[in-house]
Every structure is written in C-alpha cells, then in structure tokens.
Structure 1
C-alpha cells in the first residue's frame, strides 16, 4: 500500500492524544495517515506508553499497548468460544452419523417387509428417541407390506383425499419440521391418542412417490422449522431404498 505524503509528525501526534484544533488535521486524516503508515508507532515507540485510553471496564485509563492486549485477549476468547461451538457441532454430527449408519445396517439385514418395520422401530426408538412414527405408503409399494398389522404402518390409496393436506410437502420432496396442523396430526397419529408437539415429515421415493415417514414428538422444540434436514433426507433415502427392495 502506497504511503501518503508525510506531514510533520509533531503536527499529528497532539491530535492523537488531545483535542483537534481548527488548523490541524481532521480525525479522518489522522486515521488515514496511521492506516497508510502502519509502522508509525514502531518509529515513535515512546508514544505507546504515553497515549491513554478509557478502560473498557471502568473509569481508569490504560496505555494503548494495554488496550491492544485487552482487545486481542477478548478476540482470542471469542475465537476460542466459536471453536468450541464448532467442535460440539462436529461431535454431534459424528454421533448422528453413527446412528444413521446403524439404521442403514439394520435395513440391509432386513429380509422382509415385517423385519424392515422391526428394524425401523428399533432404530427410531433406541437411537432417535422416537416412539411415535408412521410409515405411510402408496399402493404401488404395498405388495410386501399387505397383511402386516402394525401401528407404525398404514397403506393408503394415492388418490385418497386425506393426502391433499400434504400436497406442498410432496411437491417440495424435502423433509419438513415443526408443528403440524391438527388435521395432519390426527390423520397421522390418531385423534386424541397421543400428544404431538412437533413433527418431522419425510417424503419417500423420487417425487415422494412411495409415501412419507412421519416422526412425532411431545416436545414442541424437538423438531423446529429452522433445524437442518440434511440427515432426515438421508434417512428418507435409506428407507425409500429399503421399501423398494421389500
């Protein structure tokens, strides 16, 4: 960066520690000068101990060096805090990835539609703490599941009017989290049978052609609209492949 023409240093230094007079340089000019001459305080090191700044935590004054050290310490603490947050997120993602891996292994081992449902029940209950969930399947995927009696399975015609309430979900073909309408809750989990504070709805198959996986929780904050749905999408892909092979 090119340096600006240097004015007489003695004319600049009073403005740093005292009030500006009308004939002197403006604060902007001083700031620009120091910005373009970053070695200024190396050439005038004595000024660092003479300049005094208000202490950020009281009425006392500190030298510029002390203020810089304090600012760097605060910045370091902020960076450390951010690093801890990133490490916590990474650890949480590792734990979640391990749970999805166990689900995938269970689905691979399933040899029938019945054992597939059992595998899903085990993973969703033990690994994801989901006791309320439903696999809703369209007719083209009913073959292997016909005759199975389970509260976690429902076979429904693709033209059923009840599915209209999920049109926007199917159109997006992406998982959705948050509170659901009473009509959706009652249809999926039963009217007045369980308390559902929030839910995750996961479309299954290409363009949601297989149906959906609904997971409910009594905790209103368990599934919230701002949470990432990437892992739910992966679960949906795994379940879709398993349903197609059942």
Structure 2
C-alpha cells in the first residue's frame, strides 16, 4: 500500500477497488460533497482535454442513448421486414389455394417467387413417392428423380436436418439444380420438402452472393417449405 500526502499529513492510499466499492454503495457521496464533484477532472476520451465528472457522465449517457436509438432502429427495420415477408407468404398461400390443378400449383409458385420474392431461378426436386401431386406436369421448375438417384446423396445432410440451409453451394449441387452454363448462382436457399427423408427439396438461387447467407433466419423459408409440401403432396 503506497503513501500519499493529504493536507501535509502522510496517509496510506486505499486500493482503487475499495474506493470503487465504497462509491457504489454510497451513491449520495457526491451530493454530500458537491464541491469535490466540481473539482474532479477526467480525460475527455476523444482528445487531450479534460472535462468535469458531470460533463463526462453526460457524454457517457449520450453515447448510451445513441446506441439504444440505433438498436431500436434496427429492431424496427427487422419488424418491418418480417411484416413484409409475412404478407408475401400470405399472398403465396392464397395463390396456392386458388390453384385448381397441378399445373396451377407450379404457376402459382412461379408467380409468387418471381413477383413477390424476386426469385427467377428455382426448382422443385421430387422423388417418385411424392410425384402423384404433380403427375403429368412438365415445367423447367420441376424435376422428378428416382429415390435412389446418386444426386440425392449430395443433399443427405439437408434431408437429415429437416431444416432450410442458406449460403453458397457446391459446384456439383449447383450444376444438378440449375444446370451447367446457366445463370451464375452466387448463393442459394435449399428447403427440404415433406416429412420423409429425401422426399424432395425446393432450391432457390440468386446471382448475389449475399442474398442467401448462413447467418440469415430460415423461419420463413421453413413456412414456405410447408406450404409447397402440402401443395405438391410431398
């Protein structure tokens, strides 16, 4: 413990932890010693000048206020995005309900994904066990494969998880889903369909590498997957 001279008297210095603990348990200390409060000077934090303790407290509170306001704006933006997505999914539901046949289901999906979600590159892959719902339909957005097809093994992890996955996909997956030499796919969302393993999947591709990324929420994609599964009988 070091020594300090106070009013000509040498006294032991208290550890900083003890002083901090005392002030924490005695918040009215500076009310009882208001003169001391005005004499305390602290570094400004953004330069070499000093400010009073009160000014420093105001500065800290202002910074906290700015951070809270920024966080509030972020929450509002997320809420608006969620409202917009919920509205788009509602419109998709109505389109699918109005579809009178299998071809109408594909048309409804094509219109909704293109107009509401801005997705022109997408594909439904179904195994024969789920084929009945779209029997006889010919579309570039639909591919029926044998359940033992080697290509399905590329998506074993997706089927095992039963949850949508977003991000960049392997070249072999991209070529199988969207074709070689097609529109450049920078990122994709893969959504498993149906309760059965390897029943099928919905793939949505985008040339933008940041459009679908691993950190994004997949809750709404899962809801779209549920709707598509019901519509195609997966």
- Number of positions where the alignment pairs a residue of Structure 1 with one of Structure 2: 227
- Tell me, yes or no, if structure 1 residue 77 matches structure 2 residue 66: yes
Which residue of 2 is the match for residue 116 of structure 1? 105
Q: Of 191, 197, 204, which residue of structure 2 is paired with 1:202?
A: 191
Which residue of 1 is the match for residue 13 of structure 2? 24
Question: Following the alignment from structure 1 to structure 2, what is the Cα–Cα distance between the partners of residues 210 and 108?
Answer: 22
- Tell me, yes or no, if structure 1 residue 142 matches structure 2 residue 128: no
Normalising to structure 1: TM-score of the pair? 0.88
Judge which range, 80-89 or 58-67, deviates more.
58-67
When residues 180 and 46 of structure 1 are mapped into structure 2, their CA distance, relative to the original with a 3 A threshold, is same
Cα deviation digits, residues 168-211 of structure 1 (max 9, x gap): 11111111111111111111111112211111110001144531
- Tell me, yes or no, if structure 1 residue 97 matches structure 2 residue 92: no
Question: Following the alignment from structure 1 to structure 2, what is the Cα–Cα distance between the partners of residues 22 and 195?
Answer: 76
Question: Following the alignment from structure 2 to structure 1, what is the Cα–Cα distance between the partners of residues 157 and 46?
Answer: 54
Question: Segments of 4+ in structure 1 off by > 4 A?
Answer: none
SS in 2 for 1:104: helix
Which residue of 1 is the match for residue 210 of structure 2? 221
Question: Following the alignment from structure 1 to structure 2, what is the Cα–Cα distance between the partners of residues 144 and 73?
Answer: 60
Which residue of 2 is the match for residue 9 of structure 1? none
Question: Following the alignment from structure 1 to structure 2, what is the Cα–Cα distance between the partners of residues 41 and 163?
Answer: 71
When residues 173 and 97 of structure 1 are mapped into structure 2, their CA distance, relative to the original with a 3 A threshold, is same
SS in 1 for 2:148: coil
Question: Following the alignment from structure 1 to structure 2, what is the Cα–Cα distance between the partners of residues 216 and 142?
Answer: 23
Question: Following the alignment from structure 1 to structure 2, what is the Cα–Cα distance between the partners of residues 164 and 54?
Answer: 63
- What are structure 2's unaligned runs of at least 5 residues? none
Following superposition, the deviation at residue 113 of structure 1 comes to 0.8
CA RMSD of superposed structures (Å): 1.7
Question: Following the alignment from structure 1 to structure 2, what is the Cα–Cα distance between the partners of residues 80 and 169?
Answer: 39
Which residue of 1 is the match for residue 228 of structure 2? 239
Question: Following the alignment from structure 1 to structure 2, what is the Cα–Cα distance between the partners of residues 28 and 195?
Answer: 60
Q: Of 6, 28, 47, which residue of structure 1 is paired with 2:36?
A: 47
SS in 1 for 2:12: coil
Cα deviation digits, residues 115-161 of structure 1 (max 9, x gap): 00000000000011110100111112212423222100111111112
SS in 2 for 1:141: helix
- What are structure 1's unaligned runs of at least 5 residues? 1-11, 15-20
Question: Following the alignment from structure 1 to structure 2, what is the Cα–Cα distance between the partners of residues 97 and 189?
Answer: 27
Question: Following the alignment from structure 2 to structure 1, what is the Cα–Cα distance between the partners of residues 212 and 20?
Answer: 50
Following superposition, the deviation at residue 63 of structure 1 comes to 1.0
Normalising to structure 2: TM-score of the pair? 0.92
Following superposition, the deviation at residue 243 of structure 1 comes to 1.4
SS in 1 for 2:233: helix
